[in-house]
Structure 1
């Protein structure tokens, strides 16, 4: 059974997702193309951007690299 996340975690996840979305749009990439670059489904990218998914560190590192942005910039 999934554990309920505290509100501050959900809020931070949404903020990080918004940063990913902004960086993706700045790089002129679609969710589909970013998904291809990181070997993830575009639906996964959508869920990450809107804070409804909790991506692992490996996927976050791949996303940061594909967007040519330091991971620290996305999670600051």
Structure 2
């Protein structure tokens, strides 16, 4: 039996997280290969996360955050200083 379809907001949030990762990477002047090496993940993994082509696990997010010297919360929150949460299908 196929898994139920995810709500559209899940993909939208995945895209936003990917964009945040890319912005942090670009702010450091890093290429995708640079981030992959620093995070000890594959280049394809970084591309898939940044483009929301595939869901990723917490371990990869932790590795990317550590390499970028940010918290996972900074990757997940639109404005961590303001406490704005990025999640949510209207909840």
Give the structure-2-normalised TM-score: 0.76
Counterpart CA distance in 2 for 1:52 and 1:2 is 17
Kindly indicate which of the two structures has a greater share of residues assigned to helix: 1
Q: What is the number of residues matched between the two proteins? A: 76
Residue 9 of structure 2 corresponds to 8
Counterpart CA distance in 1 for 2:30 and 2:11 is 25
Runs of 5+ unmatched residues, structure 2: 78-91
Give the structure-1-normalised TM-score: 0.90
> RMSD of aligned C-alpha atoms?
1.3
Runs of 5+ unmatched residues, structure 1: none
Q: Which has the higher contact order (CA 8 A, sep 6+)?
A: 1
Post-superposition CA distance 1:23-55 (Å, at most 9, x none) = 000011111111112222211101100111211
Residue 50 of structure 1 corresponds to 51
Counterpart CA distance in 2 for 1:53 and 1:29 is 22
Counterpart CA distance in 2 for 1:15 and 1:43 is 18
Larger Rg: 2
